[in-house]
Structure 1
Amino acid sequence: MWTRRDFLGRTLQTGGGLAAGARGVVAPGQANVRTTDGGASTMAPVSTTITVNGHRQVLSGDSRTSLLDLLRDRLGLTGTRKGCNHGACGACTVHIDGRPALACLTLTVTCHEREVTTIEGIGAPDGLHPLQEAFVAHEALQCGFCTAGQVMSALGCLAEGRARSADEVREWMSGNLCRCGAYHGIATAILQLADGK
């Protein structure tokens, strides 16, 4: 039986390994697969340099590590949530080079020399981002589990100019689930910022 890790590892070995080598993550000609005493193959550690919330990070680790696991487990940035871990809920939304992306479906090695922004990287040390303030004002959260992903997607919606109507906002935000049902407040908060009020 194949696990998700097996699938990711084999995918990276075949197609993704070539792409990573082209980006300089794996040196040309360098083997990235090791064999253990038991005959099982393991991935050799790879070095990845990414900028997270304005801080440059040089990291070494398994090439199959998702960006979500790196952010939460290695860097302690737990604002990005692990919801479904299959790209279906949007709770893990972050920005990669200014565009929303699902961290659970993104391999860390694909972020080499790129900028990643998490919920911890917006706003100011002494206050909330205006969108976060709008979420609070319009009760666009209840339990709060999905809020970080909702905010990061909403920032993308605003940046892309996709907040011209409530229908357009709902379409843009359709990849983010809120099991508490705060959708009306979320759309209202986004539209408020789009209108500049």
Structure 2
Amino acid sequence: MLRPSHLLSCIVLALGAGTVQAAAVAPAPEVLQPLLATLNERLNIADLVALTKWDSGKPIQDGPREAQVIANARTLASARQLDPDDVAQLLAAQIEANKLVQYGLLAQWQAAGAAPATTRPDLAQQIRPRLDELQTRLLQQYADFTPYRHDANCPAWLAKARRGLAHDTLHELALTRATGELCVRPTAP
């Protein structure tokens, strides 16, 4: 039986070993930061989309547009030697994260009785072309990051790299959703 002083020593050693192990996480690959910056930029555009939805009264859910975006991403995946199903999951996560921001902002504006008095860009002529351009960049950055998706350190890299990117809790939550498909946990044998 361990004496209390030995038990305390064992606990301290175990905690210290955990700290050393946590500190030994390999540094994130350089390709992660640009990928997260693009995902974050895409999420910030959700604010503009929300404004157009507020003004038009159109629903946030746009099934045909979402299907078109995912189909286009599947096509582009092949050109980058990416798995079309993985790319479809990635884009679906981006769409869901984007809608999360839109729903959150619309709820805030409804509670306030008004949306911000800012310039409204045109959804079809200005916002969607920008989203399409970001999708192209996103897929290239995703292709660059793909070799690291199965790394055991991937979740730790993401958690650390996400810190400070979002400007509020709503966008932080959405960024977590947007990055939810980036790391792949190894399956148990």
Structure with the larger helix share: 2
**Which one has more relative contact order, counting CA pairs under 8 Å at least 6 apart?**
2
Same-fold call, TM > 0.5?
no
Q: TM-score of the superposition, structure 1-length normalised?
A: 0.26
Q: TM-score of the superposition, structure 2-length normalised?
A: 0.27
